[in-house]
Amino acid sequence: GAVVSQHPSWVICKSGTSVKIECRSLDFQATTMFWYRQFPKQSLMLMATSNEGSKATYEQGVEKDKFLINHASLTLSTLTVTSAHPEDSSFYICSARATGTGELFFGEGSRLTVL
């Protein structure tokens, strides 16, 4: 089946640094991708909708200057957590909606730990 790959699968960084997470659709094109954040024992919280070639749409309460989203091609979206702090430690998950069929596929998630 269709695959969405996230990289890195886990990352540890120091407080104040920036971290980039990639989300790639490996065998289909995705005009729209979504980014979620999930804290331990909680559900997925939608952060933003990423549309290829345009600015991302952020959910209420999500700081767009802190969580930079770029969707420069039909197979790649990136999430950059800028000036990360320990409270940004979380499981970040992307999903990609296949252009045409509209099917939605999820990545394996990226676990960020900020020290």
Partner 1 sequence: DAKTTQPNSMESNEEEPVHLPCNHSTISGTDYIHWYRQLPSQGPEYVIHGLTSNVNNRMASLAIAEDRKSSTLILHRATLRDAAVYYCIPHSGGYNKLIFGAGTRLAVHP
Residues forming the site for partner 1 (CB under 8 A): 4, 6, 31-32, 34, 36, 43-46, 49, 91, 93-95, 97, 102, 104-109, 111
Taking the least distance from each CB to partner 1, the nearer of 36 and 88 is: 36
CB of 24: closest distance to partner 1 in angstroms?
13
First to last CA, the chain: 37
Q: Which residues pair with 32 in a beta bridge?
A: 51, 97
Taking the least distance from each CB to partner 1, the nearer of 31 and 113 is: 31
CB of 42: closest distance to partner 1 in angstroms?
8
CB of 26: closest distance to partner 1 in angstroms?
14
Pairing of strands 10-13, 110-114: parallel
Half-sphere exposure of residue 57: CA atoms within 13 angstroms, side-chain side? 6
CB of 55: closest distance to partner 1 in angstroms?
16
Taking the least distance from each CB to partner 1, the nearer of 31 and 80 is: 31
CA distance 68 to 37: 14
Are the C-beta atoms of 27 and 43 separated by less than 8 Å? Answer: no
